[in-house]
Chains A and B, each alone.
Chain A
Amino acid sequence: MEKTDLLQGTLDMLVLKALSRGALHGYDIARWIQQTSEDALQVEEGSLYPALYRMERRGWIQSRWGVSQNNRRARYYDLTQTGRKQLEAESANWARLTTAIGKIMQTA
């Protein structure tokens, strides 16, 4: 299966989306993105973490240490109010962008 590099800046949006359904730790976020995109998206998994830290600093997400399903200490991330708004804004933006690009690409 062919893999696509992640577009600059879209990682944040995907993370926010992943977290919109509840708190997850980093590994689950990475897996969720892979599975949901049916392995189409190529993420250097480690780069997820600086992105998470940055988003936390911006106040979009918050984190706490918790216990994972296999009983290990794991750091869980969760959307904040600001993060939720940010996700809405980015989704809308993304929709506009894909529609516009789609229109262009469909011309003969």
Chain B
Amino acid sequence: MRTALRNLFARLRALVAPATVQKDIHEEFRFHLDMRVEEYVKSGMSLEAARQEARRQFGNPTALRDRGWDERGGGFLEIVLKDLSYGLRTLRRKPLLTVTALLTLGLGIGANTAVFSVLNATLLAPLPFSEPDRLMLLWEDHTIRGNAQVEFAPANYLDIRKQSRSFEAIGAWLETRVNLTGVAEPQRLSGMLVSDNLFRLLGVSPVIGRNFLPGEEEENATPVAILAHGFWQRRFGSDPGIVGRSIQLDGQGVTVLGIMPEYFNFPSKGIDLWMPLRMGPEQAGGRGDHYIRVIGRLRDGMERSQAQSDVQAIAATLEEQYPRTNQGVEMRLVPLREYAFSEEKPALVILFSAVALVLLIGCTNVASLLLSRANERGREMILRTVLGAGRRRLLRQLITESLLLALLGGVVGLFLGFALVRALGVYIAEALPQAAEISLDVRLLAYALGLSLLTGLVFGLIPAIKVSRVTPGGSLRGVEHQLASGQKAGRNQRILVVAQLALAFVLLTGAGLLIRSFANLVSVDPGFRPEQVQVVRVELPFTKYRTPESRWNFQTQLLDQVRSLPGIRSAGMISFVPLTRSSVYFSFAVEGRANPGDMDLPQAIYRVVSPGYFETMAIALLQGRHFSTRDNESAPPVAIVNRTMAERFWPKGAIGSRLKVGGLDSQNEWLTIVGIVADVRQGRLDAGGEPQLYVPYRQDYRGFIAPSEVVVRSDLDTAMLGPALLRVVQSIDKDQPISAIETMEAIVSRSVAAPRFRTLLLGLFAGIALALSLIGTYGVVSYGVTQQTREIGLHMALGAEPRKIVGDVLRRGLKLSIAGVAIGSLFAMGLARFLRGMLFQVEPLDLTVFVSVSLVLMSVAAAACYLPALRAARLDPSTALRVE
């Protein structure tokens, strides 16, 4: 080991300072000769004779020095370096080819690095919990009602937590919003109510202060909270003294127990603080509403399947005990790892495959470039073989060159990849809000390096083998012929062109399908007009606005004052504006119909709105009337339904009909339908057609769904309107914060961020693929023309029209593109179905897409052939014939 190290060091020294080593050897020889001469002279020889004799005795010093250098020089390293510098020279000699190859590789590797960096920050990002593989999410499974993943009802969660034997611990969380009050600038916070065992279950502790203790989720325990690192930094200037002190949340004193580590963002980014999930007896006993998220840590060594059947058995018992609420409610486990980014996973996998194809196209391009160069280099290779270079030496030289090219391409790719990630940063942040920070880590570098090396081997091997197979028998000319003979050389490259056209076809089809789908998506009529509408969220703290009347007063005052602001055309309020994915469904009963079980009642999206909401959003009123200020607490309860709900449940006319929230026997009041409005895309643009139910705000007593989003239609921009709204709100209640103001158009746009992201990327990659195939086809056809200069000259000398020459070249190119399109469409047909889940109103085998892609690809191929064809036609026969 030490010897090896010392040798390596000696080799390196010889590489860095060859002169020193040479001098060493020289001096040693010199000493030897001098000693010998001295001895001979002493024994009586003349100086001249002594010198001659000493030299004869010593042998040929030049040869000996070379043999000495073999031992003491750079050794293997030196050979590699020689190969590299030779390779660099070769690359420099053909700058156009080198730049083309580097750009091609750079684009391919860059696209791969970019997508991998996204994967690295999402699917491959490690879960920051101890033994994360034992963490399981638990879901209620309502498959018979078409929903396999439903949140838990509180009582079901408590039962499973008590009864299950397969878990070390089971915990839960529930989103909440609170206002930080008692400070100069009140602020709305994102909070998470968590079971007191949750952090211990995840294996994470606060960096300062203490964890929640068992018992802190009891209803009457002291109010406590643990702060997120970011919130602590922003709001309390990282002051550790805050721990143990009290802060005001919704006007109530809450003791800060601790600060979580910076990386901790469970269950999602943007959480400001965690508080114990405390449920009163009524809430804890509820099995009808499903809104609690549950997670468990498997006991050590417990199999998932075992735990699954354990949980399922408990679900079956509950079903027997509580048939009214739990009929058909099963339970299932999903590993936390599988769940993270499960929605984005298919798109990421497809993008990853897409960039792999791009790189493959890039490889075929470079291979084809190297092949044509290999043909030109035949003479050089033969010469070197004749001069005694072994086949292995030549092969190594060629592979070294390819690897060098690939590594340089990898460097270009790394830069391009990061440029791409930077350019797409906004889209990535929108489409993958939960992604970790994208950064250059060891894994990413290793990936780029490995990919470059693999690429170098892939595109370098074919030409290398071909060249090294040359047998140096016969004349140089003969060998050159052997390499470059039109037939064989051309065939390999034509295969490569067909292959890359086919690959490009697959990518273009995928991109075409996604683009059509995206076009369909954004042209969906959302049922409202987002232009000039702006939204701000005003969350009234429940602790301060305990009574419905206090909320109504606030809301009425707010609306009155906002409407009187200059430049405002209309304003209204709603629980949640559309496309924010907050879907609250309520079950309802229709007057005059039989009462089904609780679980089988029809459901509607339930929204509480103020007068002016529909007008502001420009949601069409189809029948009846809007809500007015007269629809208040002392007036008979009314409702507005959407067209789908009206047509489905009251085909003979909905106006004047009655329904109630809950079952027929529930205590809720009957609501009379006074209006029918157009369907609105509430959850997402690509899904609609569900019943929607609106009630006036002064008739809603359920605080948690009270209207808290103010919509304003005006000519003002957000910078003007935002501060004006804040002033209005704080003139009514100086402790009341508001959220940042947003345009409704931004909300709509954000709701399609994910499809836009994948469409954009796949489109980009398909574009790169198309450009690369254009270059590849051009290169091969152009090379073919060069190869056949003599032949073409002969044709022309024999009287062939230039037009025929052009036609010939074009026809050859067309044949290639037809083959590429045919093969590509076969593959595309096979692969398109993997896109099905991402397509909106487009079939995977959409004829328009397939036909347009074929046309595009064939035109591009024709364009690529046209220049070489023109060049062929302009050949001067007399010169052409003289070309060797």
Residues of A within 8 A of B (CB): 25-27, 30, 44-47, 49-50, 53-54, 56-59, 68, 70, 72-75, 82
Contacts and interface: CB of A to CB of B under 8 A. Distances in A.
B492 to A, nearest CB: 44
Given A45-B59, A73-B31, 15 more contacts: A25-B31, A27-B36, A45-B57, A46-B60, A46-B61, A47-B59, A47-B67, A50-B67, A50-B71, A54-B71, A57-B7, A59-B6, A75-B24, A75-B28, A75-B31
Given A27-B36, A53-B68, A57-B71, A44 B58 contact: yes
Interface in B11-36: 24-25, 27-29, 31-32, 34-36
Contacts of A25: 31
A75 B72 CA distance: 15
B28 A49 contact: yes
B64 interface: yes
Contact of A26 (B24, B28, B67): B28
27 contacts: A26-B28, A26-B32, A27-B31, A27-B32, A45-B36, A45-B59, A46-B61, A49-B64, A50-B64, A50-B67, A50-B68, A50-B70, A50-B71, A54-B71, A56-B71, A57-B7, A57-B10, A57-B72, A58-B3, A59-B2, A59-B3, A68-B31, A70-B38, A73-B31, A75-B24, A75-B27, A75-B28
Given A27-B36, A57-B71, A59-B3, A47 B31 contact: no
Contacts of A56: 71
A49 B31 contact: no
A44 B31 contact: no
A53 B59 contact: no
Nearest to A25: B31
B59 A44 contact: yes
Given A26-B32, A73-B27, A47 B64 contact: yes
B59 A27 contact: no
Nearest to B73: A53
Contact of B31 (A45, A58, A59, A74): A74
Contacts of B35: 27
Counting from the closest, the 3 A-B pairs by CB-CB distance are A53-B71, A59-B3, A46-B59
A68 B32 CA distance: 11
Interface in B775-800: none
Contacts of A73: 27, 31
Contact of B68 (A30, A49, A68): A49
A27 B24 CA distance: 15
A46 B31 contact: no
Which has the most chain B C-beta neighbours within 10 Å: A27, A56, A75?
A27
Contacts of B68: 49-50, 53
Nearest to B3: A59
A32 to B, nearest CB: 13
Tell me the dominant secondary structure on chain A's binding face: helix
A18 to B, nearest CB: 15
Contact of B58 (A46, A57, A58, A59): A46
Nearest to A47: B59
Nearest to B35: A27
Interface string B27-62: 111011011101000000000000000000111110
Contact of A30 (B6, B10, B32, B72): B32
A49 B36 contact: no
B23 to A, nearest CB: 12
A97 B375 CA distance: 56
Contacts of A70: 38
B29 to A, nearest CB: 7
Nearest to A80: B3
Nearest to A42: B57
Select the residue from A46, A53, A75 with max chain B CB neighbours within 10 A: A46
A40 to B, nearest CB: 16
B203 to A, nearest CB: 51
A27 B67 CA distance: 18
A72 B31 contact: yes
A49 B60 contact: no
A15 B680 CA distance: 97
B596 to A, nearest CB: 89
Contacts of A50: 64, 67-68, 70-71
B51 to A, nearest CB: 14
Contacts of B67: 47, 50
Which among A44, A49, A57, A75 has the greatest number of chain B C-beta atoms within 10 A? A49
A45 B59 CA distance: 7
Nearest to B38: A70
A49 B25 contact: yes
Contacts of A82: 3
B66 to A, nearest CB: 9
A13 B73 CA distance: 24
Contacts of B36: 27, 45
B70 A45 contact: no
A84 to B, nearest CB: 14
A97 to B, nearest CB: 27
A54 B73 CA distance: 11
B72 A53 contact: yes
Contacts of B64: 46-47, 49-50
Contacts of B57: 44-45
A36 B602 CA distance: 112
Contacts of B28: 26, 49, 74-75
Contacts of A59: 2-3, 6
Contacts of B70: 50
Contacts of B25: 49
A82 B2 CA distance: 12
Contacts of A30: 32
Interface in B455-490: none
A85 to B, nearest CB: 13
Given A53-B68, A53-B72, A46 B29 contact: yes
A11 to B, nearest CB: 13
Given A27-B32, A27-B35, A59-B3, A45 B58 contact: yes
Contacts of A27: 31-32, 35-36
Contact of B32 (A45, A54, A57): A45
Nearest to A74: B31
Contact of B29 (A44, A49, A53): A49
A11 B712 CA distance: 99
Interface string B654-678: 0000000000000000000000000
A27 B30 CA distance: 11
A12 to B, nearest CB: 13
A68 B24 CA distance: 16
A57 B58 CA distance: 22
Nearest to B11: A57
B545 to A, nearest CB: 86
A56 B72 CA distance: 9
Q: Which of the listed residues B3, B34, B36, B61 has the most CB atoms from chain A within 10 Å of its own CB?
A: B3
Nearest to A55: B71
Contacts of B60: 46
A59 B6 CA distance: 9
A93 B445 CA distance: 53
Contacts of A49: 25, 28-29, 32, 64, 68
A73 to B, nearest CB: 7
Nearest to A82: B3
Contacts of B72: 53, 57
A58 B3 CA distance: 7
A54 B58 CA distance: 18
A25 B3 CA distance: 21
B41 to A, nearest CB: 13
Nearest to A75: B28
A30 B58 CA distance: 10
